[in-house]
Structure 1
Amino acid sequence: MINVDTVIADTQKLIGIESTNPGVLEADVAEWLEQRLTGMGLDVARHEVQPGRDNLSVVIPGADRAAPRLVLVSHMDTVPIGSGWTRDPLGGEITDGLLYGRGACDMKAGLALTLGLLDALISTGTVPPADVVCFYTVDEEAPGMLGAYQLVEDGLLRPDDQILAPEPSGMRLRISQMGLRWLTLTVTGKMAHAGRAHLGTNAAHIMAHIVVELESAFAALPFDDDILGRPRFTTGVITGGVSTNVVPALCTAELDLRIVPPLVPEDAVTMVERVATDVIRRYEDASFEVEALGARRPPVRASDDSKIVRSLRSSYLAVAGREPEVGGADGHEAYTDSAMIAALTGSESSTVLGPGATDQAHTADEFVPVSDLELGSKLLWEMVRTW
């Protein structure tokens, strides 16, 4: 069995090592992980993604080397710490059954579960039925998701791999994941003195019209997936202008477009271009440009018949007395390494289930329930035992 106390301790140690992205990045976590894994007697391979940024991998050989492998994918980076904390973001404090810190749920707790599994297999001398493979990636929290891309580029994955990312899902089975397209929209107008504003073309005002009309256009889309729900649109960043009394000639917005089948990322781009074109034509001396920000991320869904989904369901039933919830409030919003791998390879055996909820991820006073670590430990061991 997996030792939950060890999983908790590893989560706390990982929280104490800052790996913010953007920020200090993952090198210190990778160094600690390598020491932890070699301390178990495992051979750790490093796979360079960028100078100073390596993915790590370890393999515990199974009894049947030709059987589909259980592949666990965890990322080492977190979002920046940010403000508003009432607890030490690197402290790993436990209060009332909740473990706090940046990355507590996204996803140092899930990563620690994989360490607990490896430790239990080694310490008990258990030979798993098939290979158990763990990848630890960089850059999951960034637009490009370079770590997942490099896993595929390096040929480290097999077509029949059964992939689980123990990302925060509220311990629900995230069988589907929304597609995502990030875009940078730039509007160019004409600068003028605010006292003579009629001589200029206000790029900020034009942007405001585009954003409002995009919100309405997304709300009017007829698609409503049975698990993923409806498409979603967010303007995350708007910048522009040089002074209060100057008509701005330039305004830039970063857009987050979440899509569901049958939409693909190109449909989101087309919608932004269509709405922007319609608004721009109402103004003289105005233009716009749309640029992709980060990786193309289509909607993905694991097959109900895949080995990983069947194993998750049966193992969850065995340890919790019920099958896992599918989707739900925490079940599909984030785009993970698991989804990126599925998008790049076409895999229908790549999914998510892990401790913590996306409601807590990326927030001040981020936390993971210790009870999720207890359930996750039992679940992973049962999966390997019955694989």
Structure 2
Amino acid sequence: MAPDSETGPRPSYDPSGEVVDICRDLIRFDTSNYGDEDGPGERKAAEHVAALLDEVGIEAEIYEGEPGRANVIAQWGGTGDRTDGLLLHGHLDVVPAAAEDWQVDPFAGEIRDDLLWGRGAVDMKDFDAMMLSVVRARARAGAVPERPVTLCFTADEEAGGHRGAQRLVEDRTDQLAHCTEAIGEVGGFSSTIRGQRLYLLEAAEKGMAWIRLTARGRAGHGSMVNRENAVTALSQAVARIGTHEWPLRLTPTMRTLLATVGELAGTEMTPDNVEELVEEFGEATKMIGAVLRNSCNPTMLQAGYKVNVIPTEATAYVDGRFLPGYEDEFWATLRELCGEGVEVEAVSHQPPWETPHDTDLVDAMSRAVAAEDPGALVVPYLLSAGTDAKHFTKLGMRSYGFVPLRLPDGFDFAAMFHGVDERVPVDALHFGARVVDRLLDQV
């Protein structure tokens, strides 16, 4: 029995029945990604995911981008002539966690105060668990969606996805090329504005450029005057970058979001009140405020080998993020800030993307959310960080971030990403699984 597409009775199966246990088990796999060759990799977690799918008759392939860096991909559903596949994807790796900084063991999957604690609880083993709980329940009940669904659990997202989603796009194109739309992370969470619950749907991402700056000069003794000091030249460039005030830029996605907020606040959005409207998001302000402008933050400095030796070379690394439609402006400004004599090199470069939000899939998301949270609104927003969507959009997919979580007021969701004491409400996991289940009946 399939659930009613609006607010009808729940199905005979329980789509959220396993979501907490699956999420706990996934957290207990340490899949820390240090961004280099260190770390345990994702292989054990991938084998666990593949076994959960195989157990309900869904054949899963484990594909390694590099030894130990394992991805899982599986095909499911499709009961008619439809060929427009839907990709559901989540990553298995997590950023590292220092246990001494946490209130609980970050890899124990402990439940405390009706919250599931652990590294990956929101980034993003919660959605991995939702997918698996829903798919397993539906597979057992024979509730196969009409639309073909590709399930993908990736490696290496926390280091740019080069061993994960990128390799799948390049090497397993035949498994993905039929997908016209994709759903992944960092969207679908709730935020309450003036008593109205909004679910923020990721419909765009900033582009990303991790950049190395290099200044070269003349080596010499630290006691002597040196007007070709590489450290000085680099430091001046870094200071200009770090203090630069980037201009306000509103993309179509953010115009839609802030116009909605303006209506709730009883005012019309204008360039003059944008900052005030963003403040309406409370704890989420830092996440939303980061997508009003391009940004570039210095993060690393390297120079010299002895205090009394002026080195020939000095390097710095900066984390650059640019809005859809404003990449050219970003690079031109960065080069101007660096000035002459400082070399600019992108060590990782991923473009921004923006997807229309007036689509049938977004309408289906809105209905699925409203069925579980009547009166709630789904509105688009732009993400400041990057996800695997940057790779999947290369195949022409319309991409969205939609991990539906109904959060209590005051819950600092943005702080959970890469933060200490990462946790997710248990009832939010159940809610999300039910919404994902309803969505699969409408796509």
CA deviation string 1:123-156 (max 9, x = no partner): 2121212122211111111135332222322212
Contact 2:186/2:202, CA 8 A, preserved across alignment: no
Match of 2:138 in 1: 121
In the alignment, the residues of structure 2 paired with residue 46 and residue 77 of structure 1 have an alpha-carbon distance, to the nearest angstrom, of: 15
Pick aligned residue for 1:380 from 416, 428, 436: 436
Q: Residues 1-387 of structure 1: matches in 2 within 5 Å?
A: 1-22=13-34, 23-82=39-98, 84-143=101-160, 145-153=162-170, 154-155=172-173, 156-158=175-177, 161-167=180-186, 170-171=189-190, 172-196=200-224, 198-199=225-226, 201-217=228-244, 219-225=245-251, 227=254, 228-264=291-327, 267-276=329-338, 278=339, 280=340, 287-294=341-348, 296-327=349-380, 332-342=383-393, 344-347=394-397, 349-354=398-403, 357-387=413-443
AA matched with 1:18: D
356-365 vs 34-43, which moves further: 356-365
User: Percent identity over the alignment?
Assistant: 27
Compared with structure 1, are the counterparts of its residues 138 and 41 closer, same or farther at alpha carbon in structure 2 (3 Å cutoff)?
same
In the alignment, the residues of structure 2 paired with residue 167 and residue 262 of structure 1 have an alpha-carbon distance, to the nearest angstrom, of: 21
In the alignment, the residues of structure 2 paired with residue 65 and residue 120 of structure 1 have an alpha-carbon distance, to the nearest angstrom, of: 24
In the alignment, the residues of structure 2 paired with residue 222 and residue 194 of structure 1 have an alpha-carbon distance, to the nearest angstrom, of: 43
CA deviation string 1:295-316 (max 9, x = no partner): x322212222333222212211
In the alignment, the residues of structure 2 paired with residue 378 and residue 332 of structure 1 have an alpha-carbon distance, to the nearest angstrom, of: 25
In the alignment, the residues of structure 1 paired with residue 377 and residue 436 of structure 2 have an alpha-carbon distance, to the nearest angstrom, of: 14
Compared with structure 1, are the counterparts of its residues 116 and 64 closer, same or farther at alpha carbon in structure 2 (3 Å cutoff)?
same
CA deviation string 1:274-331 (max 9, x = no partner): 322x2x4xxxxxx43222222x322212222333222212211222113444356xx6
Q: SS state of the match for residue 87, structure 1?
A: coil
**Could you tell me how far 1:113 is from its partner in structure 2?**
0.7
In the alignment, the residues of structure 1 paired with residue 161 and residue 57 of structure 2 have an alpha-carbon distance, to the nearest angstrom, of: 33
Match of 2:288 in 1: none
**Could you tell me how far 1:362 is from its partner in structure 2?**
0.9
**Could you tell me how far 1:168 is from its partner in structure 2?**
5.9
76-85 vs 99-108, which moves further: 76-85
AA matched with 2:335: E
Compared with structure 1, are the counterparts of its residues 201 and 87 closer, same or farther at alpha carbon in structure 2 (3 Å cutoff)?
farther
AA matched with 2:357: D
CA deviation string 1:11-47 (max 9, x = no partner): 1111111111122121111121122221222211233
Q: CA RMSD in A?
A: 2.3
Compared with structure 1, are the counterparts of its residues 179 and 140 closer, same or farther at alpha carbon in structure 2 (3 Å cutoff)?
same
In the alignment, the residues of structure 2 paired with residue 87 and residue 355 of structure 1 have an alpha-carbon distance, to the nearest angstrom, of: 25
CA deviation string 1:45-79 (max 9, x = no partner): 23342233332112222222425323201111111
Match of 1:284 in 2: none
In the alignment, the residues of structure 1 paired with residue 202 and residue 232 of structure 2 have an alpha-carbon distance, to the nearest angstrom, of: 40
**Could you tell me how far 1:106 is from its partner in structure 2?**
0.6
AA matched with 2:334: V
In the alignment, the residues of structure 1 paired with residue 294 and residue 422 of structure 2 have an alpha-carbon distance, to the nearest angstrom, of: 26
**Could you tell me how far 1:174 is from its partner in structure 2?**
0.8
In the alignment, the residues of structure 1 paired with residue 65 and residue 377 of structure 2 have an alpha-carbon distance, to the nearest angstrom, of: 35
Contact 2:241/2:298, CA 8 A, preserved across alignment: no
Contact 1:319/1:382, CA 8 A, preserved across alignment: no
CA deviation string 1:217-257 (max 9, x = no partner): 4x243523352421122112222222334334332222111
Contact 1:180/1:258, CA 8 A, preserved across alignment: yes
Compared with structure 1, are the counterparts of its residues 125 and 13 closer, same or farther at alpha carbon in structure 2 (3 Å cutoff)?
same
TM-score scaled by length of structure 2: 0.77
Compared with structure 1, are the counterparts of its residues 92 and 144 closer, same or farther at alpha carbon in structure 2 (3 Å cutoff)?
closer
Compared with structure 1, are the counterparts of its residues 326 and 205 closer, same or farther at alpha carbon in structure 2 (3 Å cutoff)?
farther
Contact 2:27/2:119, CA 8 A, preserved across alignment: yes
Aligned residues: 371
Q: SS state of the match for residue 111, structure 1?
A: helix
Contact 1:223/1:261, CA 8 A, preserved across alignment: no
Runs of 4+ in 1 over 6 A off after TM superposition: none
Compared with structure 1, are the counterparts of its residues 169 and 145 closer, same or farther at alpha carbon in structure 2 (3 Å cutoff)?
farther
Contact 2:116/2:423, CA 8 A, preserved across alignment: yes
TM-score scaled by length of structure 1: 0.87
